[in-house]
Structure 1
Amino acid sequence: LPADNNWVENQIRPIATGRKNWLFAGSLRAGQRAAAIMSLVHSARLNGHDPYAYLRDVLERLPTQPASRIDELLPHRWQPASAAI
């Protein structure tokens, strides 16, 4: 086993750094919204998507997406608009 754990430290650094900032979300609802957005961003990243491209596409398609097909916009099922045609 390696003598250091730099990889693990680098993986948890954003969480540890953000923890202090997240104390000032403004309210409980704002904190819940921030958690939802962070979950989407990290899920998109884990599924191999560029988080910016994913959020941009989803926010553009959301107003016209039928409620019965909303699950197509989740990170594990999402296809970019150009690939969906």
Structure 2
Amino acid sequence: LMEQAIRPITLGRKNYLFCGNNEGAENNAIFYTFMACCREADIEPYKWMKEVLSRPLPDMTEEELIKMLPSNFK
């Protein structure tokens, strides 16, 4: 059970070597954080991402953006 629990971390660590630069690594970390938040909130990550990316995010207020976070997503 423990090996299965840390497998994603180990695979991620190996894949981080190929981010290219610090900005790529930071973007990758943000992506992994959102996916982990979706898992915690029991939301399908693909459905969440499809919904979020279909909206005009630059035009949203801070309140609207907070509603789009996985923990607040419905």
Name the TM-score class by shorter chain.
0.7 to 0.9
Q: Which has the higher contact order (CA 8 A, sep 6+)?
A: 2
Deviations 1:11-38 (A, max 9, x none): 1101112211211101100000000011
Task: Indicate the residue corresponding to 1:78 in structure 2.
Answer: 73
Unmatched 5+ residue regions in structure 1? 1-6, 80-85
Mapping 1:26-65, distance limit 5 Å: 26-61=20-55, 63=56
Say whether residues 1:23 and 2:17 are aligned partners: yes
Larger Rg: 1
TM-score by length of 2: 0.87
Percent identity of paired positions between Structure 1 and Structure 2: 31
How many residues align structurally? 72
Give 5+ residue unaligned stretches, structure 2: none
**Pairwise CA RMSD:** 1.3
